[in-house]
Chain A
Amino acid sequence: MRRTAQALRRLLHTALEPPTLTRAQALSRSERLSALTTLSSSLEHLAQRHQTEPGGLNDWHVLREAGPTPGPLLRRLLDRVAEPRTTTALHLGRAALATALLAPGDGRWRGAAQLCLATSGALLFPRHAYGTDGSDQVTVMVQGATGAARLVRAEPAKDALVWYLAAQANLSYLVSGWVKLIGPAWRDGSALPGVLRTRVHGHPRLWALAREHPRTSRLLAHSVLALECGFPLLYTRGGRLTRPVVSAAVLFHGANAYALGLNRFLTAFTSLHPLVAYTAVPKTHPVGARRDDRFRTLAAAALTTATAFTAVAAVRRRAAVLAGSPGSRLLVARSGNLLQYEHHGDGDPDQPVLVLGTGLAATPDHLARISERLAVTTRFGVLGYARAGYNGSRRRATGPYTLAESARDLVDLVEARVCPGRPVILVGHALGAEVARRAAPLLGDRVEGIVYLDPCHPAELLRSERKSRAAVEQTRNLTRMAWFLRLGTGALLSPLDWATGLPGPVRRRIHQQHADSRMWWAALREWRAMEEEFQRHTGELPPVPGRALVISAQVTADGDPDQIPLHHELARAHRAGGECVVLDGAAHDGMLTRPGPARETTRLITEFAAATRPAHPHPAGART
């Protein structure tokens, strides 16, 4: 009994001993492990060479069009690398070099060999774009930095490179763990059986086990989360936690290799562990005492500077979003909400005013192609506005938000900014159309009609299976965007392709509006109210004054057979009759944002408005 206790104590002592790995040892182990990954990867590509031939999944004639466009020099280099004989020769060379790196020795040639592997690995990445994974990326990164560390002579430079890889290793576990916590499937434990049931990543027997033992499966998944989220803790307690944490990580990658078929991840990620262990050697040890740790200071400073920069950019962006477009004005609605609106064109006083309303997570600039064209090419008045919470419009109403609040705001806008007696046509996209439908009875006879652009229907969540399924995703996406942008990530917003071709100032405004969390919070609020109200919908639609034109996007109609009947119901609800049109080749957003479909949408709106009877409005100040 005493002996067993002593043995256990010795074992625990060994397990909790801080690492004493030298830099040379760390580099040597790391380069051998990553050489194993390269060897396996290149042999895999050679075995699957038919996939790079014409008709293969990685046929270069198709693949070269994928991803960002390279410069002419890189384009020529990639084309050369992608030639079948060159690709094969490169993989044979990489396999030979990787094998040579496995041999004993410590020469400087190893540095050059590693840089060759890193460079060729990076150049081959686009060639095998479909089917690559994180292990390929890790290996290029490790070989590039450890190769450079072998070649540079200054000790601080070597330590900087090792620290860089160790920091990336810590980041890899931290990001993987903390980002998983955002996903409900990881939190409730359904993620592990979910992944294991797939053929591409899973394992049938292990999936059956996970399903039979849900508590154990959940415990296992949560243990992985704990390991990933807490990985950097190995630097605490004088490095005593390094061995247990790294051992657990090796076990984790081994399990992934077996269960998920991620064989190359085992050697790819464990190649980072020796470098982590070296950086965790305590300063009290001679190895730690000699190590140059200034990289940590600089990395912390760089991250702090980047965070400060994004915070300042977010504040400036918010100010620009609140200011709105140069011609915008403000109006206080009876709800207390402050509405930002813009007269795109006054039109002829005897012609109707088109009041444009946007969909969820969209601002008046979303309709720029249509509003500008209507203002320039027709004699109608054109009035655009942002619902409360979007752009410079602020929600000041107290109490829970309902769609009726937006409908009343729209009524107030029309009554305050359109001359009495002048007919109004409400034009709304998606949710904007639903708001218009609810506002129309409150506006009465002055509503000449409503143009519904691929509209929502209050029964869609109950009657459309596709819409109902997409609702969960909608909530998730809006919530995440709102939170990420609130954390100041707006600077990372990719350019919005659909805005290409719009005038520069409009494009810049659209980018700022989408990079600011404000629009997304407003959209989330509206979506929650909309979802709740739509789920409770019963009965038929109440009668709506005026005529209707329902323009459905063809992609929406093709993708969801339940949409067209719903759109027809909207048209039928109008007292003066309605018409339904399907816009060929148009998508839900594309009907507004793509030049061709937007032109066609504008034409249909113009024709619909042209049928309006002339009016005799009273002149009234700044009103349209």
Chain B
Amino acid sequence: MTLARLLKDAVRGPGAGWRIAGASALTLTVAAQIPGELLGRARRRDLLATIPNWRFFAPDPSVHDYELVYRTLSHQGETSGWKQVPLVRNRRAHQMLWYPERRAGKAVFDMGTEVLRVIDQGFATVRDQPSYRALTNFLRREIRQTENHEAVKGFQFALVRSAGYDLDERAEWQFISPYTSIAPVARPTAMQGR
């Protein structure tokens, strides 16, 4: 059978629509696998994440954690020491089957990556990132739940890049936020379009 005949046969008959749709989706998936943010056009509009990313731990694996730390400022103007938000539990065998807390650890890692990606563009850009706002709100709630929040006027947080269990490597402070008020930010009463 000639190539032309093979192709003609493939785009005709029962299931042709599925074959064409599948081949197109596969091509789009291939196009979305090029490493690097700049070459990410194929996935740019994919809000529902329907185009898979198969580059797990590649080409450069994540060999660091982003620790989330904060300190508070009291109404008297006193600053507390830095405190770490515990997000990842110690590893246990049962986590092979059930490990819901991993999502929170991964979420902070994703947010840290997003914040640090735009840090070279200045704080005005960082401040507009949903990840920055989510981290700020998260810490505001965390402090209100774990501290005597009435004594707290504001807080500051930082993302510290550490080598996890490897304590021989020095942790590096990657981002330090400005002081932020502990008072909750007014929320929109109804969802508004963007």
Contacts and interface: CB of A to CB of B under 8 A. Distances in A.
B182 to A, nearest CB: 12
> Chain A binding site: helix, strand, loop or mixed by DSSP?
helix
B14 A191 contact: no
A298 B103 contact: no
Contact of A201 (B44, B62, B134): B62
A538 interface: no
A164 B7 contact: no
B30 A171 contact: yes
Interface string A270-293: 000000000000000000000010
Can you list the 4 inter-chain pairs with the closest CB atoms, starting with the nearest?
A55-B141, A194-B63, A156-B15, A131-B107
A526 interface: no
B146 interface: no
A301 B24 CA distance: 10
A494 B38 contact: yes
A475 to B, nearest CB: 13
Interface in B16-65: 17-20, 22-27, 29-31, 33-42, 44-50, 52-65
A559 B141 CA distance: 29
Interface of B: 6-7, 9-11, 13-15, 17-20, 22-27, 29-31, 33-42, 44-50, 52-65, 88, 90-91, 93, 95-111, 119-125, 130-131, 133-134, 137-138, 140-142, 163-166, 187-188, 191, 193-194
B26 A167 contact: yes
Contacts of A75: 193-194
19 contacts: A48-B104, A57-B138, A123-B48, A176-B54, A190-B63, A191-B61, A195-B57, A195-B61, A195-B63, A198-B64, A202-B91, A261-B91, A263-B99, A292-B15, A295-B22, A301-B7, A301-B23, A480-B59, A481-B36
Given A199-B164, A481-B36, A494 B44 contact: yes
Given A141-B50, A297-B6, A587 B59 contact: no
A140 interface: yes
Nearest to B111: A130
A460 B45 CA distance: 39
A408 to B, nearest CB: 32
Contacts, number: 323
A562 interface: no
Nearest to B185: A61
Contact of B24 (A123, A199, A302): A302
Bin the interface of chain A by size.
35 or more
A152 B17 CA distance: 12
A58 B107 contact: yes
Contacts of B44: 68, 494-495
A528 interface: no
A195 B125 CA distance: 30
A84 interface: no
B18 A125 contact: no
A195 B62 contact: yes
Given A302-B24, A586-B122, A63 B141 contact: no
A490 B138 CA distance: 39
A62 B137 contact: yes
Contact of B52 (A70, A168, A207): A168
A587 B134 contact: no
A132 B20 CA distance: 29
Given A175-B55, A179-B33, A555-B120, A125 B49 contact: yes
A283 B32 CA distance: 32
Most B-side CB within 10 Å, residue of A79, A190, A198, A302: A198
A92 interface: no
Interface string A98-141: 00000000000000000000000011011010111110111011
Given A62-B130, A176-B54, A555-B121, A132 B104 contact: no
Contacts of B27: 299, 302-303, 306
B38 A168 contact: no
A294 B45 contact: no
A182 B35 contact: yes
Contacts of A57: 104, 107-108, 111, 134, 138
A514 B105 CA distance: 36
B193 A72 contact: yes
Interface in A438-486: 477, 480-481, 484
A175 B88 contact: no
Given A179-B33, A182-B59, A186-B58, 5 more contacts: A154-B15, A174-B54, A199-B65, A200-B62, A261-B102
A51 B52 contact: no
Contacts of B20: 298
Given A185-B61, A263-B96, A303-B27, A176 B166 contact: no
